[in-house]
Amino acid sequence: MKDRANPLRSSFWTGGAPLILASASLGRQIVLRQAGLPFEARPAQIDERAIEASLGNVAADVVAAALARAKALAVSDLSGDRWVIGADQVASCERRMFGKSPNREAAAELLRFLSGRTHRLHSAVALVRSGEVVFETVAHADLEMRVLSESFINAYLDAMGDAALSSAGAYQVEGLGAQLFCQVRGDHWTIMGLPVLPLLEAMRQAGVALT
C-alpha cells in the first residue's frame, strides 16, 4: 500500500525510492506520515510466535528487537536495495511479558491484570538495506493504568472491537486507550510503536534524510 505523502514534506527523505514499512500498523504509518517520510506498507510474512519460541527465556528488549529485525530482513529479501523499516512492540509487567491478545477474553484478562499497575512498553525498530541491518534500537515508555471496573472493561472492549487485538496491551493510547491511564512516562512515538527520533538520526547518519 503506497502512502499519499505531501510531496513537499517528502523532500526530507533523500534516499530515492520511498521507504518500505514492514508492517500493517496504522499507528506506525501515522508516525512516518507525520514525520514527512514517503513509504509503502508491506507487512512481513513471518511466524512471530515461532521466532519468540526460538529465543527461549529472554528479556522483552531481546524479543522486540528480534521481531523488528526479522520483519525488516524478510521484506528486504524481496525488495532489492530499498530501505526497509521493521518495528515491533512488547509490553512487560512484574516479570510477565505480553504482546497482542488473541481474542476478547484474553484482552479482558490482560486489562484486569494491568489495572492499577505500571507496565513498560519495549518498542524496537530496525533499519535494513540489501539484507543488512544498518541500525536498530529499543526505546521504552512506562504507563500507569488506573484501577478499572469490570463494567468499564466490558464497555471499552465493546467500543474497541477487533482494534483491541491489534496492539500490545489491548489499547492504542492515541484513541480510546487514553481512558485507561492516569500517568504516562515516555515519548509519544515510542508509545505508538515506532521510536522515530533515533530512527531519523540514523537516517541522517546514513545520508538518506535531510540534515
Q: What amino acid positions are annotated as catalytic residues?
A: 88
Pairwise CA distance, residues 186 & 144, whole Å: 11
Question: For 145, what's the count of Cα atoms within 13 Å in the CB-facing half-sphere?
Answer: 24
Pairwise CA distance, residues 39 & 144, whole Å: 33
Q: In this structure, what are the phi and psi dihedrals at residue 178, rounded to the nearest 5 degrees? A: -60, -25
Give the Å distances, CA to CA, from 74 to 46, 100, 136. 7, 21, 15
Residue 166 grid cell? 491489534
52, 56, 58, 62: CA torsion to nearest 10:
-40
Nearest to 19, CA basis, from 125, 137, 174:
125
Pairwise CA distance, residues 86 & 21, whole Å: 6
Q: In this structure, what are the phi and psi dihedrals at residue 163, rounded to the nearest 5 degrees? A: -60, -25
